[in-house]
Chain A
Amino acid sequence: MKPTARWIPYFLVAPAFAIFSLAILGPIIATFGLSLTDWDGFSTPSFVGFENFVRAFNDKIYMNSYWHAGIYIAATLVLEVVVGLLLAGLVSSKRNTTFYRVAFFTPVMLPLVVISVLWTFLLNPDLGILNRILGNLGLESWQHIWLGDQSTALLSISVISGWIFAGFYMAIFYAGFQRIPSTIIESARLDGASEWQLLRGIKIPMIKNLTEVAILLCFTGGIQVFDLVYVLTNGGPYDTTQVPTTYLVRVVFRDQQMGYGSALAVILTLVVVGVGLIYNKVRTKADAVVEY
């Protein structure tokens, strides 16, 4: 429709756009600019070209942080998406499962900081209940300083992440399962399909789109993981849980290297946007072939 007065649409869009430009759009452009400078945050930035980027690609800690994020993403794909899918299959196979769905989703809405502080205690080698339970079961050899041991720290963070977000993916998949026409499910049941066959043969294939979205979310969320890691280990021990975001915060706010930090931020942005674009391409292609 044509607006009743010319100024109206601009008036309607203006506040949103002004806030968005001031807080996000402007700063993004500025961050790209800063990535080409050497800047401590106080003096005048000096232009250094692509030096920061060269340094980033030679920065072992930074490059390893992507490796850690990769491991974390791979682990959470299983612990969050796959577990979420199985949980969704379970809670959709019976009636009266509201209680479980509500319970499994609980951690998603709590502040990550609160959950992280709680888990530092659960995994605490002296006070924590995990080691105590293992000890009571006679599994002393399984006890670890979970978050302080290089071999278990990253894995522990992934498991905690799974504890939080499996319920989130379950809710997404469950909503998808509910939209499958019940006639399809019922007729498959009449034909004697087991719940497992139902899940594998009908339910999962019919929510293929949602699964793709979930994998993308797991990826983009995983590469930006911050709160959990910052509180649980802050990148330690010996940088073995350093992820791109925690390292970025360290470079910017502890080492006061705004220029270098901006370059790290630009690289992270390009990775996230790149993955989003690739995903969009793959998905539109797949959508063109399979339609249901």
Chain B
Amino acid sequence: MKRNPIFHIAMAMYSLIYFVPLLWMALSALKSNEEIALNPLSLPTTWDFGVFAEAFTAGSLGKYAINSAIVTGTCTSAVLLFGSMAAFAFTRLQFKFSKQLMALITLGLILPLQSYFIAQNALFDTLGIKDTRMALILPYTAMGLPLAIWLFRAYIQNLPKELFEAARVDGAGDLRVYQSILLPMLKPGIATVAVFTVLSAWNEFLLALVYIQNDDLKTIPTGLLTFSTRYSTNYHLLFAALTIVTVPMIIVYVIFNRKVIEGLTEGAVK
């Protein structure tokens, strides 16, 4: 294969489609509202980064980020733990109704959110958990489990059977086997499932919009939407908020890009 400058020039030009909007967002944050309105394409005249601090406090972005972190962290831990437990039972242990239960869980892979959220909303109303973090943690965990179990099952099936049988001969009980043999060997699978679960919970919008009205409990997507309605004409503040939300995610993504891409695509193709 030859080096081909034309190829790289063309690809770099195409990359601009991705960079320009994001760069415009970050640079517009540094401009005054008048500058943005009069000349959206110009570069900022001053480089005052104070606007980011202002947006961070005005939009209570810290609060939203903490809420997102609590919800995402809890539901991801639950999905990883409960998902791996169930997958272990489904793949390696014989029990009654194993097939039927697995079939029900599989159903969760294709069902759209809209098929259950009306009744779910009514149920959460009755249980009195709307406007609590539980109202998000519970459905996010439930939505993450089918895919987690499905992916974990594929991973466990690829592990040698003898491994589990040998442990059995050594007198280990099944819970012991799960803890000391399965979990350590499942690490690559756990990473994939974690990426998928974290990003879907972090970015989820519809349920967050419906279940959380209390501003103190909003997650980043709904919090940012509130911000954008409240400051819809304070452009530079809004751009600063968008930038604050976006940049850390891009940094994390660039560092872990292989895992992220793998996690998201593998999760979807399954």
Could you tell me which A residues sit within 8 Å of B by CB distance?
Answer: 1-6, 8-10, 12-13, 15-17, 19-20, 22-31, 33-34, 41, 90-91, 93-95, 97-114, 117-119, 121-122, 126-129, 132-133, 136, 163, 167-168, 171-172, 175, 210, 213, 217, 220, 223-224, 226-227, 230-231, 244-245, 248-249, 252-253, 258, 261-262, 265-266, 268-269, 272-273, 276
Contacts and interface: CB of A to CB of B under 8 A. Distances in A.
A255 to B, nearest CB: 13
A111 B113 contact: no
A113 B224 contact: yes
B235 A127 contact: yes
Contacts, number: 276
B29 to A, nearest CB: 11
B11 A90 contact: yes
A31 B142 contact: no
A23 B140 CA distance: 9
Nearest to B116: A27
Nearest to A258: B118
B217 interface: no
A253 B238 CA distance: 27
A19 B108 CA distance: 12
Nearest to B164: A1
Nearest to B15: A103
Given A13-B90, A23-B138, A172 B82 contact: no
B203 interface: yes
Interface string B66-85: 00000000000010011101
A106 B18 contact: yes
Interface of B: 1, 4, 7, 11, 14-15, 17-22, 24-25, 28, 36-37, 40-41, 78, 81-83, 85-86, 88-90, 92-95, 98, 101, 104-105, 108, 110-123, 138-139, 141-143, 145-146, 149, 164-165, 168, 173-175, 178, 199, 202-203, 205-206, 209-210, 220-222, 224-225, 228, 235, 238-239, 242, 245-246, 249-250, 253-254, 257, 260-262, 264-265, 268-269
Contacts of B253: 102, 106, 109
B95 A111 contact: no
B246 A227 contact: no
Contacts of A114: 220-221, 224, 242, 245-246
B94 A127 contact: no
A193 B163 CA distance: 47
Contact of A163 (B17, B93, B220, B222): B17
A12 B86 contact: yes
Contacts of B40: 127-129, 132
Contact of B225 (A103, A217, A231, A252): A231
B118 A22 contact: no
Contacts of A104: 15, 18
A3 B203 contact: no
A171 B108 contact: no
Given A9-B95, A23-B143, A266-B115, 7 more contacts: A3-B93, A12-B89, A28-B119, A30-B119, A103-B15, A213-B269, A227-B205
B221 A113 contact: yes
Nearest to B227: A117
